[in-house]
Chain A
Amino acid sequence: MKKTLSIILLSAMVMGITFTAKAVELVGAGATFPYPLYSKMFDTYYQLKKVKVNYQSIGSGGGIKQLLSKTVHFGASDAVMEDEEKAKAGIKVHHIPTCFGADAITFNLPGVTKMNLTPDLIADIFLGKITSWDDKRIAKVNPKIKFPKMPIVVVRRSDGSGTTYIFSDYLCKISSEWESKVGRGKSLNWPVGIGGKGNEGVSGLVKQTPGSIAYVELIYAIGNKMPVASVQNLSGNFVYPSIQSVSESANIELPDNTEVSITNTNAKNGYPISSFTWILVYDDLSVLKMKDDEAKAMMNMLWWMIHDGQKLVKPLHYAPLSPAAVKKAEGLLKSVKLNGKNILK
């Protein structure tokens, strides 16, 4: 027993030494939302190509900050970089989409497991204008459900997060009152409700507060088997959030740089509170003083992420990129340079 253990340890050490001598190590930081997917992808890629990626899920804002201070090779974010941040970067930063995420609206209402919500209802509930579940307007779009007379308790994220950004971005598009009163951002000045820290904090509060309503990441809602609401999209269809309907939401004309918010999509069967999540890469990697082999290894890895790596997306409840999005991402990756020379051919 002892002997086998020491052999394993020894061989691990020897392997470690041989690899550190050759292997390329990449460092990335950013969004927490795609972290389970990225860690699976990077692990699989390491098995394939022996390229080690150290990804720290410190949040989208942190990832952008690290990228701007040039301490990481790539960043990751759930939101498009703001103009102020882009200006700080000095050169262009490409947003490479890797998968889709969505916010699901979850609730805890005794005897109710599904419901339909219209954009107006969502805005008015989260603005604090509809305060009771037996409101006539809720009953109107849910004729078959009997709602109890119960106060609505709004639960939302207290920590800054890309999830909140996506949700507020959606509300800004559907409600001018929301846009002028609250606006969009990773942290907001909420008019009502109680805040939980992280998806787990929010779902913890929802699970034990009868009458509560909240938004959480879709993968989190699916994983925890929480009831979610169908949301009416721009085409008038009530869409249940699923991997299928989230992927569907990007079935629209995409700009070449993919820096587009797909909330409130006009895709016919698309779920309206969806978003890309991106990996952020400098246009010319020489600003990071990357060597030839490092730059090449990173670009190959990103290329793999948007092609073969996409196989890993669905099993983890994320929504894979649509063919149109992959095409755009390919174009972006091909334009990345090192000392003015394109890396991928």
Chain B
Amino acid sequence: MMLKKKNIKINGDTIFKYAIGSSVVVLIMLIVGIFVSLIVYSYPTIAKFGFGFISGHTWDPVTEEFGAYPFLIGTLITSFIALILSFPVSIMISILLSEYLKSGVIHNYVKSSVELLAGIPSIIYGFWGLFIFVPVVREVQMYFGITPYGIGILTASLILSVMIIPYSATIAYEVISLTPSEIKEAAYSLGATHFEVIRKVILPYSSSGIVAGVLLSLGRALGETMAVTMVIGNSHILPDTLFAPGNTMASVIANEFTEATSDVYLSALIEIGLLLMIVTAFINVVGKMIIKKFSVGMS
């Protein structure tokens, strides 16, 4: 190295700089490494089925014909229904905590219960769903005269929506709390009611943060495995109604990986993993664009 001696100073600053630099490098290498190894190990099916892997409707391990379309649809439907159901609830919780119950025993109680929801292991959600929630859904199905499976796409979406509430709610709460009191007071001084301040000042101000929280919860919903596997019915047939059993990409991998012995089968499961990663990345990129658009609109 041709560096002058005075430039090499080993002090806290330099060490810290290299430490953060190297952790970033490690992180990027990890992501790239995972991506590359997924591609390498799924190459046999990529070569064999090509695009047919995504558009194919048949998943038959016996004849080794693999099409992941039903699982792709299952993942997207359950995640988005969960998102639609959980979004209003999380927004209301965060507004309640930041605007109406700003402190006190109830505030702390509600806030920690929401945070606790995120800490419950997904297997617990799964068992709770299977033994407590599914019978309720079954009663409803019997009332409407639908085949009373109890489990299925809708049940999985409902469980998922509960599971992802804490992610969007806590982030929304944090950003709403960050709204400067000056602009809120300015709105009040112009005669705005509390509701109008929330609707026209606070929500627009914190919209990008709220979207970020929604994205995080969507990511969680897309990849959730255990709880979904237990209540979705694990059927390889494309669901025709919301009550029908279906399957998601993550739960197919969890179910079939241990006993997948043939090379093509294993490769097909790894390709599902690759597909799941691409879908998640794609949704993240789209979300970032939405956030950017919102922020521009603000300024």
Contacts and interface: CB of A to CB of B under 8 A. Distances in A.
Interface of A: 58-62, 64-65, 82, 84-85, 151, 153, 158-161, 182-190, 193-197, 201, 204-205, 208-211
Nearest to B150: A209
Given A153-B147, A194-B235, A195-B233, A187 B256 contact: yes
5 contacts: A160-B259, A189-B236, A197-B230, A201-B130, A209-B148
Contact of B62 (A59, A84, A189): A189
Interface residues of B, number: 33
A272 to B, nearest CB: 21
A82 B131 CA distance: 38
The interface residues of chain A, by DSSP majority, are classed as loop
A204 B151 contact: no
Given A151-B147, A196-B234, A197-B229, A61 B245 contact: no
B113 to A, nearest CB: 27
Contact of B259 (A62, A84, A209): A62
A97 to B, nearest CB: 21
B222 interface: no
Contacts of A82: 261-262
A208 B131 contact: yes
B261 A61 contact: yes
Given A194-B149, A208-B135, A189 B259 contact: no
A159 B251 CA distance: 9
Contacts of A65: 261
Interface string B111-155: 000000000000000000011001100100000000111111000
The 6 closest A-B CB pairs, nearest first, are A160-B259, A195-B234, A158-B234, A183-B62, A189-B60, A61-B259
Contacts of A209: 138, 148-150
B71 to A, nearest CB: 12
Nearest to A188: B62
A153 B62 contact: no
B150 to A, nearest CB: 6
Nearest to B61: A187
B234 A187 contact: no
